[in-house]
């Protein structure tokens, strides 16, 4: 058994025993009451699942196993030039709760290189699609095609015991993560570079090799990809992509299929697709105004026009966060360190000053601050990746780290089929007829 799997097995057995004890003593304890507004309002804030790998605080933002992004930037092992953290280290941390050593991260990089081979039928399937097919559609189809190699599905068919689910899930998680950069780069090169593919470089780390296969040169772009893949990896369990992976996985559908489902959720404009929408919106604004150096008034007017047309301002707002997203700030700091006077980056920073007060005056937006998607496109455009339809695929490659580590935990802890209760409005009316009215706080 490999070193990471051994560590995970030990930790999982300990936590499983602990959870059993917690539930034996406190299983009937009520965690919180739920209001009708939450039921009709997208289940906001209802605590209804366990997700070990990260936790989101509305004011402070994401912590991965207790570590904030600035802490991770300091403590995780870094790429060859010692600048940006290696996403391999974050996966290790999320899976077993320990910051890995340089040696352990090196081992993981090697593992993913050994597991990165993609069967020919996957490329053949993608080649049948029109090159104009949205990259997220290609990504989901590619992942689904990879499912034929699912260790979990094959072992289940062979009569695997419940006690082994975590082991098969681990194998699929490791293989899938290893293969995603190659799959994503293949989609990028076939969609935008006439199918001129670039072979993997086995001497590079997971993120560095991904940047290399995308074909965008330079060590700064490699560093951007390392940081990007780290900060997008997980955002606790309730976000739409993570929750979808959790839900599908609970049916014992294998990790490939549950990840493909999660990617379909990520492809929505209120979630991960917002990263392409942000840059499309900025390009449209620049076209409408006629310059990539718009004034404050130009931008304000464009924001008002967007809102007046009944549209959202992409990259702003969040279902949980109530402060600027630390993932936005991390990208802003990257730009300050690596990039000088880039027009699109400057526009993103001006929008950051101008949009929150406008959203606040609307009186209904709970969080007027930027989220992760408000900045990422400007950095990619700077390094030459202007094909914004591809951006959500990058997000998806990163998100695999968190949702796959969590899938291992879900199978190790033996989580059952997820099946919350729904209700009809008739049920609600009957219930209200019998229930004393609670004063509204608005
Ligand atoms: N621009 C305009 N209106 C906005 C807004 C924005 N950026 N953010 C919220 N609102 C509106 C909502 O549409 C809602 O309006 P209605 O009452 O008319 O339906 C109202 O403000 C209240 O919404 P909220 O409670 O503040 O936000 P939600 O939790 O419902 O939704 C989110 C959160 C992210 C979907 C929303 O803020 C939004 O649409 N943002 C823009 C899209 C975006 O950037 N998504 C990416 C999020 C991060 C990620 O998952 O990748």
Ligand 1 contact, 429 CB (< 6 A): no
Beta bridge partners of 54: 64
Dmax (CA) of the chain: 68
Indicate which atom in ligand 1 lies nearest the CA of residue 271: 50
Q: Which 3 state secondary structure label does DSSP give 370? A: strand
Topology (CATH) of 112-267+389-412: Citrate Synthase; domain 1 (1.10.580)
pLDDT for the residue 283: 98
Of 369, 277, 280, nearest to 321 by C-alpha is 369
Q: How far is the CA of 348 from the centre of ligand 1 (A)?
A: 18
- 314: Cβ below 6 Å to ligand 1? yes
The set of catalytic residues is 271, 318, 373
Residue 5: per-residue pLDDT: 98
pLDDT at 45 over 80: yes
Report the nearest-CA residue for atom 9 of ligand 1: 365
Atom number of ligand 1 nearest to Cα 371: 48
Indicate whether residue 43 lines ligand 1 (CB < 6 A): no
Provide the H-helix boundaries in 115-254: 120-128, 135-146, 151-157, 165-192, 206-214, 219-231, 240-249
The pLDDT of residue 320 is 98
The pLDDT tens digits for 111-121 are 999 999 999 99
Q: In whole angstroms, give the CA distance from residue 5 to residue 2.
A: 5
Q: Quick: pLDDT tens for 340-383.
A: 999 999 999 999 999 999 999 999 999 999 999 999 999 999 99
Cα–Cα distance, 184 to 419 (Å, whole number)? 33
Closest CA to 398 of 187, 201, 177: 177
Distance CA 311, CA 10 (A): 50
| Mutate which of 232, 312, 367, 392 for ligand 1 pocket (most atoms within 8 A of beta carbon) | 312
Confidence of residue 439 (pLDDT cuts 50, 70, 90): confident
- What percent of the chain lies above the pLDDT cut of 70? 99
Quick one: which of 95, 99, 168, 61 has its CA closest to 402? 95
Q: Is 313 helix (H, G, I), strand (E, B) or coil?
A: coil
Q: Which of 63, 102, 62, 104 is nearest to 82 (CA)?
A: 102
User: Residue 32: pLDDT band by 50, 70, 90 thresholds?
Assistant: confident
Which pLDDT belongs to residue 116? 97
Q: Does residue 379 contact residue 394 with C-beta atoms inside 8 Å?
A: no
Distances (CA, A) of 405 to 125, 154, 166, 169, 247: 28, 20, 11, 9, 15
Domain spans, the chain = 112-267+389-412, 274-388
Closest CA to 418 of 169, 255, 250, 242: 250
Q: How far is the CA of 270 from the centre of ligand 1 (A)?
A: 7
Does the C-beta of 365 come closer than 6 Å to ligand 1? yes
- Token pair in block for residue 276: 């392409």
pLDDT at 441 exceeding the cut of 70? no
How much is the average pLDDT of 225-250? Answer: 98
Give the CA distances from residue 73 to residues 69, 70, 274, in Å, rounded to whole numbers and listed in that order: 6, 5, 25
pLDDT for res 442: 55
Count other Cβ atoms within 10 Å, centred on residue 68. 16
Prediction pTM value: 0.97
- Answer yes or no: same fold for 112-267+389-412 and 274-388: no
For ligand 1, say whether the CB of 315 is within 6 Å of any of its atoms: yes
The architecture of the domain spanning 274-388 is Orthogonal Bundle (1.10)
Q: What angle do CA 399, 248, 9 make, to 5 degrees?
A: 70
Average pLDDT value over all residues in the chain: 97
Please tell me the predicted confidence (pLDDT) of residue 438.
82
Q: Encoding tokens for residue 294?
A: 């718009």
Q: 374-432: per-residue pLDDT in tens? A: 999 999 999 999 999 999 999 999 999 999 999 999 999 999 999 999 999 999 999 99
The predicted model gives 86-111 an average pLDDT of 98
Q: Report the nearest-CA residue for atom 48 of ligand 1.
A: 271
Query: Would the CB of 318 count as within 6 Å of ligand 1?
Result: yes
- On the question of pLDDT at 201 being above 80, the answer is yes
């Amino acid at each position: 058994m490999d070193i990471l799997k051994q560590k995970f097995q030990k930790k999982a057995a300990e936590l499983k025993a602990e959870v059993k004890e917690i539930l034996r003593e406190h299983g009937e304890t009520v965690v919180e009451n739920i209001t009708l507004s939450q039921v009709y309002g997208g289940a906001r804030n209802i605590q209804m699942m366990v997700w070990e790998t990260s936790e989101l605080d509305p004011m402070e933002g994401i912590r991965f196993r207790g570590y904030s992004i600035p802490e991770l930037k300091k403590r995780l092992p870094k790429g060859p030039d010692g600048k940006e953290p290696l996403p391999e280290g974050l996966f290790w941390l999320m899976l077993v709760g320990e910051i890995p050593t340089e040696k352990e991260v090196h081992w993981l990089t090697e593992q993913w290189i050994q597991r990165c081979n993609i069967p020919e039928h996957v490329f053949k399937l993608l080649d049948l699609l029109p090159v104009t097919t949205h990259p997220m559609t290609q990504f989901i189809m590619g992942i689904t095609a990879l499912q034929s190699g699912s260790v979990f599905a094959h072992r289940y068919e062979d009569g695997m015991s419940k006690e082994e689910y975590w082991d098969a899930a681990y194998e699929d998680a490791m293989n899938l993560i290893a293969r995603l950069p190659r799959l994503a780069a293949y989609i990028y090169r076939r969609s935008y570079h006439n199918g001129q593919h670039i072979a993997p470089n086995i001497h590079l780390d997971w993120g560095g090799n991904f940047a290399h296969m995308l074909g965008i040169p330079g060590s700064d772009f490699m560093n951007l990809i390392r940081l990007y893949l780290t900060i997008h990896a997980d955002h606790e369990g309730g976000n739409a992509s993570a929750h979808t992976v959790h839900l599908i996985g609970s049916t014992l559908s294998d990790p490939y299929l549950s990840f493909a489902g999660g990617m379909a959720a990520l492809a929505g404009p209120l979630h991960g697709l917002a990263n392409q929408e942000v840059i499309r919106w900025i390009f449209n604004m620049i076209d409408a105004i006629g310059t990539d150096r718009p004034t404050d008034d130009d931008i304000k007017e464009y924001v008002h026009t967007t809102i007046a047309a009944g549209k959202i301002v992409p990259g702003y707002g969040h279902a949980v966060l109530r402060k600027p997203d630390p993932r936005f700030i991390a990208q802003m700091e990257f730009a300050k360190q690596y990039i000088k006077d880039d027009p699109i980056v400057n526009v993103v920073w001006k929008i950051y000053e101008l949009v929150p007060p406008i959203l606040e005056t609307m009186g209904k937006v709970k969080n007027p601050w930027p989220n992760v998607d408000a900045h990422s496109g400007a950095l990619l455009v700077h390094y030459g990746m202007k094909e914004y339809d591809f951006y959500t695929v990058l997000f998806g490659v990163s998100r695999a780290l968190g949702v796959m580590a969590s899938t291992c935990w879900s199978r190790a802890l033996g989580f059952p089929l997820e099946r919350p209760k729904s209700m009809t409005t008739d049920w609600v009316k009957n219930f209200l007829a019998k229930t004393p009215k609670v004063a509204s706080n608005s």
